């Protein structure tokens, strides 16, 4: 057994919620004064452990996926391993040159040409000028921007921009490559190309890759092993298949915190209190839904001061499948008019035919007033969807043929 290339021991990261954000001197001073006078602020209650006692090892040449819900600590883990921020306790040893790609195009300057940005971005990512020069033609060819290489990147289409940025990063030659979500950008064909490149990097050159993604399909195709983070802890480290099974099972049951009402309500306006958010089928609350059947989403609220929302509010019900935001039903678009707010009320979004294929569907509910978010409840529900006879023909395409159904007609 060779020595692990990544060794993480009891890594923890604490954020002091009160201390996040730049403070003014006055606030800091009053805090200090309070402490001096013995009035201990309940500091511990404001602590938030983004990571708690994470330990794992990665062998050279392994491609390891990191999955988990939003806020599970994936990004924090990558930030620590990329040395962007320090851990609060614990340690990690990385045996080899590390390159991390947490964003595509970091440090690109819009006024500089593609050629110039390749050198600049390469240097920011840790390449020497000589290395970039050696790889230059390959990068340009991979990005398919030969004709525009001396054009300022601000004139690039967003697709070209992303391609160029990824191409630079893909040609880093680190022993350890840390990648976050960057494949969420770019068109499908290019995503495929990037995944292929990453796969070959691992397979042929024996590089080690740590890959965070919401895209389960990508993790599945690239990674032999996966880490599953939940609420800052390492819940499971196992084969990708086993981790994915557990992850999907947790999603369907709301992560063990009871069906529905998982997730967190953020950005709550003090005057608008959410009572509940429920999926309703055949007049009864449900956690599951069959494709093709009607379903409704009901938001119930109380409002201490309806006058604060005199222009009326708008509501969004957002659906995620496999970590991808697939659909946003926004009342301003679907209804056209805002909802007036009462002291107590409910707003219902009726979907005549549930369009999603088998699997968990995450449902977020957001509300806004005058374009300001007053409610952001991500993962308010997880609806366990199953295939149904959506088209009424008795024929349903194979599960691998897509994520949703769509009303349509054929002629001929």
Partner 1 sequence: MSFPTATPAPAVETVIAPTRGWRFLDTRELWAYRDLLGLLVWRDFATRYKQTVLGPLWFVVQPLLMTLVFILFGKVARIDLGQTPPVLFYLCGQLPWNYFAQTFQSTSVTFTNNSGLFGKVYFPRLIVPLAAVVSNLLSMAIQLVTFGIFFAVLKCGAHGANFGLTSGIILLPLALLQVAALSLGVGLWVTALTAKFRDFSILATFAIQLWLYATPVIYPLSQVPVKWHWLVALNPMTLSEEFFRHALLGTDVPSPLLMAASLAATGLVLAGGLLVFQRVEKTFVDVV
Q: Can you spell out the DSSP letters for 303-370?
A: ES-GGGGTT-BEEEEEEEETTEEEEEEEHHHHTSSPBP--SEEEEEEEESS--B-SEEEEEEEEEEET
Of 35, 46, 97, 134, the one binding partner 1 (CB under 8 A) is 97
Out of 30, 85, 305, 328, the only residue in the binding site for partner 1 (CB under 8 A) is 85
Interface of this chain with partner 1, residues 137 to 196, rule: CB under 8 A: 175
CB-nearer residue toward partner 1: 127 or 381: 127
Going 116 to 119 to 125 to 126, the CA torsion angle's sign is: negative
Q: How far is the CB of 77 from partner 1 (least distance, A)?
A: 11
Binding mask 109-148 for partner 1 (x = CB under 8 A): x-xx---x--xx--xxxxxxx-------------------
> Does 17 help bind partner 1 (rule: CB under 8 A)?
no
206 touching partner 1, by CB under 8 A:
no
94 or 347, CB closer to partner 1? Answer: 94
Supply the minimum distance, in Å, between the C-beta of residue 304 and partner 1.
33
Contact between 39 and 129 (Cβ < 8 Å): no
Q: Which residues pair with 369 in a beta bridge?
A: 372
The token duo for 113 is 């040409």
Report the nearest approach of partner 1 to the CB of residue 127 (Å). 8
Least separation in angstroms between residue 129's CB and partner 1 is: 5
Nearest distance in Å: CB 214, partner 1: 18
CB crowding 172-181: b at 16 or more within 10 Å, else e = bebbbbbbbb
Residues that bind partner 1 (rule: CB under 8 A) add up to a total of 52
42 to 61: interface string for partner 1, x by CB under 8 A: ------------------x-
Tokens coding 43: 């500091």
Indicate which single residue of 34, 103, 187, 346 sits in contact with partner 1 (rule: CB under 8 A).
Answer: 103
What sign does the dihedral 348-350-355-360 (CA atoms) show? Answer: positive
**Which residue lies nearer to partner 1 by CB, 33 or 370?**
33
CB of 19 to partner 1, least distance (A): 7
* Pairing relationship of beta strands 324-330 and 372-386 according to DSSP bridges: unpaired
The tokens describing 79, both together, are 């930030």
Tell me which stretch binds partner 1 (CB under 8 A): 79-87, 209-217, 343-351, 398-406. 79-87
Cα Rg of the chain (Å, integer): 24
* 279 close to 285: Cβ distance less than 8 angstroms: yes
Confirm or reject binding of residue 100 to partner 1 (CB under 8 A): yes
Q: Of these, 35, 41, 55, 107, which contacts partner 1 (CB under 8 A)?
A: 107
Helix (H), strand (E), coil (C) string for 380-403: EEEEEEECCCCCCCCCCCCHHHCC
Asked if residues 47 and 356 have their Cβ atoms less than 8 Å apart, the reply is: no
- Binding of partner 1 at residue 362 (CB under 8 A)? no
Residues in the site for partner 1, rule: CB under 8 A? 2-3, 5, 15, 19-25, 28, 60, 79-98, 100, 102-103, 106-107, 109, 111-112, 116, 119-120, 123-129, 175
């Amino acid at each position: 057994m060779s020595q692990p290339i990544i060794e993480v021991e009891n890594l923890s990261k604490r954020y002091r919620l009160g201390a996040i954000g730049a403070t003014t001197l006055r606030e800091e001073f009053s805090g200090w004064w309070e402490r001096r006078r013995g009035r201990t602020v309940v500091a511990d209650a404001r602590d938030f452990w983004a990571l708690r006692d994470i330990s794992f090892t990665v062998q050279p040449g392994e491609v390891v996926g990191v999955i988990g819900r939003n806020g599970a600590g994936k990004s924090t883990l990558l930030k620590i391993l990329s040395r962007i921020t320090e851990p609060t306790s614990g340690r990690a040893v990385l045996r080899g040159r590390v390159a991390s790609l947490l964003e595509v195009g970091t440090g690109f300057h819009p006024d500089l040409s593609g050629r110039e940005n390749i050198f600049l971005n390469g240097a920011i990512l840790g390449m020497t000028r000589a290395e970039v020069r050696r790889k230059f033609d390959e990068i340009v060819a991979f990005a398919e921007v030969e004709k525009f290489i001396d054009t300022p990147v601000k004139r690039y289409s967003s697709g070209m921009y992303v391609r160029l940025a990824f191409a630079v990063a893909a040609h880093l030659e680190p022993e350890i490559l840390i990648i976050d979500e960057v494949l969420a950008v770019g068109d499908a064909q290019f995503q495929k190309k990037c995944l292929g490149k990453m796969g070959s990097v691992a397979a042929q050159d024996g590089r080690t890759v740590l890959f965070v993604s919401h895209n389960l399909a990508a993790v599945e195709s690239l990674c032999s092993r996966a880490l599953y983070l939940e609420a800052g802890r390492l819940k499971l480290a196992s084969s990708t298949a086993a981790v994915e099974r557990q992850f999907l099972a947790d999603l369907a049951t709301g992560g063990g915190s009871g069906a529905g009402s998982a997730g967190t309500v953020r950005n709550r306006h003090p005057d608008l209190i959410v009572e509940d958010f429920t999926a309703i089928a055949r007049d009864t609350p449900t956690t599951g839904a069959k494709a093709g059947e009607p379903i409704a989403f009901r938001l119930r609220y109380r409002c201490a001061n309806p006058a604060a929302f005199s222009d009326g509010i708008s509501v969004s019900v957002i659906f995620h499948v496999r970590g991808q935001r697939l659909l946003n039903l926004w009342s301003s678009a679907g209804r056209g008019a805002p909802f007036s707010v009462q002291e107590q009320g409910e707003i219902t979004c009726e979907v005549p035919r549930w369009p999603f294929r088998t699997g968990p569907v995450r449902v977020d509910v957001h509300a806004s007033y005058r374009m300001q978010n007053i409610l952001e409840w991500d993962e308010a529900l997880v609806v366990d969807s199953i295939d149904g006879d959506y088209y009424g023909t008795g024929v349903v395409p194979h599960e691998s043929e897509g994520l949703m159904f769509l009303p349509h007609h054929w002629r001929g």
